[in-house]
Amino acid sequence: MNRGILVDEYLQTNIPDVFAAGDCVELRQPNAGRRAIEAIWYTGRMMGETAANNILGAVSGAKSPVRYNPGIWFNSAKFFDIEYQVYGDIRAQLPEDQATLYWEHPGGKKSIRLNYDKASGRILGFNLMGVRYRHEVCDKWIARGTPVEEVLQQLGLANFDPEFYPQHESELVALYNRQTGKSLKLKQKRGLDAVLAFLR
């Protein structure tokens, strides 16, 4: 043990056929950009699945070991009546090689932040307060390294607020245009058919 039960990439401890998962775990070699200890609900679930696969494989000898891979960072929570979501690379201090687009509703209870690479323009992360975005859509944009301008034009695909809630994607596009002198237009508004087509 260190700060947690030390495990390898298969979640195996230093004792053969003994695995650990969840808040108690500390990865010996975490993936790039991830922490050795992540006490988040979804990592516990993913660790449980990985450990179960490896325990069953060790017992039966039929399966090759499964590596633990939490994928792109995400988290969500609800504080009283305000929801919070983060997908990808959103840090407390913006790195020098990143740029950010930040929009805040005049009422102060909603905000949307998009972080992207200064040089290439590829999207790196999303941070939302009081607005819901679809995890699968944001994850795909980040994994593909989609340019921020393409993301902005398709931003309606991500909106997952309840039906008839006000949408603010056009305001974010307008803000980007003011800051950069561009003339982007929001091409894609929300709609389940469009989302399903995008995720295929």
pLDDT of the residue at 189: 65
Assess contact for 70 and 39: CB atoms under 8 A.
no
How many domains would you assign to the chain?
A: 2
Q: Within this chain, do residues 85 and 165 fall inside the same structural domain, yes or no?
A: yes
> How do residues 129-160 score in pLDDT, each as one tens digit?
999 999 999 999 999 999 999 999 999 999 98
> How do residues 87-107 score in pLDDT, each as one tens digit?
999 998 999 999 999 999 998
Which residues fall within 8 angstroms of residue 85, CB to CB, at 6 or more apart?
74, 75, 76, 126, 127, 128, 131, 132, 133, 135
Compute the C-alpha angle 189/195/197, nearest 5°: 120
Does the pLDDT of residue 188 top 80, yes or no?
no
Using a pLDDT cut of 70, give the percent of the chain over it: 96
pTM given for the model:
0.83
CATH code of the domain in which 80 resides: 3.30.390.30
- Is residue 193 assigned to a domain? yes
pLDDT of the residue at 190: 64
- Is residue 65 assigned to a domain? no
Q: Within this chain, do residues 56 and 103 fall inside the same structural domain, yes or no?
A: no
Higher-scoring residue by pLDDT: 135, 161: 135
Q: Within this chain, do residues 171 and 98 fall inside the same structural domain, yes or no?
A: yes
> How do residues 30-67 score in pLDDT, each as one tens digit?
988 788 999 888 899 999 999 999 998 866 666 688 99
List the domain range (segments joined by +) for residue 187.
74-199
- Is residue 66 assigned to a domain? no
- Is residue 28 assigned to a domain? yes
- Last-in-domain residue among 16, 37, 60: 60
What is d(CA 180, CA 172) in angstroms, rounded to the nearest whole number?
12
- Is residue 11 assigned to a domain? yes
Q: Within this chain, do residues 188 and 156 fall inside the same structural domain, yes or no?
A: yes
- Is residue 141 assigned to a domain? yes
- Is residue 15 assigned to a domain? yes
pLDDT of the residue at 177: 97
